[in-house]
Amino acid sequence: MKPFEECPQFNTCSCNVCPLDPDMDEKFTLPGEEKCKAHKPTRLKIGTKYGLPKKGLRGREFSGKQRWEGLSPEKKALLVEQGLKSLKSIKKG
C-alpha cells in the first residue's frame, strides 16, 4: 500500500500534488487544479508512518517547521509569549 492510499480523502481526491506522495516534489499544480483537503494531523500521522521526508506536510508547512526548529529556545519562548498575548487581546475585544 502506498502512503496516499491510506488518506481518508483518497477515493474522492483528484489532487495532482499529494503531500503523501513520495514523488511530490517532482510534480506541480496547474492553476485551477484541486489542492489537498486532508487535515494536517492526518497527513502527519501517515507521513511519519511511511518515513516520508516532509512527513506529509505541504511545502509551505514544511518550510515553516524548519524555520521554527532553527530558532533558539529563547526566540521560541518569546514568540509563544507574544502569541499568547495576542490571543488574550482578541478574546477581550
Q: How many angstroms separate the Cα of 44 from the Cα of each of 12, 26, 92?
A: 20, 20, 33
Number of domains making up the chain: 1
Give the span between the Cα atoms of 8 and 39, in whole angstroms.
Answer: 10
Q: Per residue in 35-80, pLDDT tens?
A: 899 999 999 999 999 999 999 999 899 999 999 999 999 999 999 9
Q: Is the pLDDT of residue 29 over 90?
A: no
Q: How confident is the model at residue 28 (pLDDT cuts 50, 70, 90)?
A: confident
Q: Give residue 72's domain range.
A: 3-92
Q: Is the pLDDT of residue 20 over 90?
A: yes
Average pLDDT over residues 18-24: 92
Average pLDDT over residues 19-23: 93
Q: What pTM does this model have?
A: 0.78
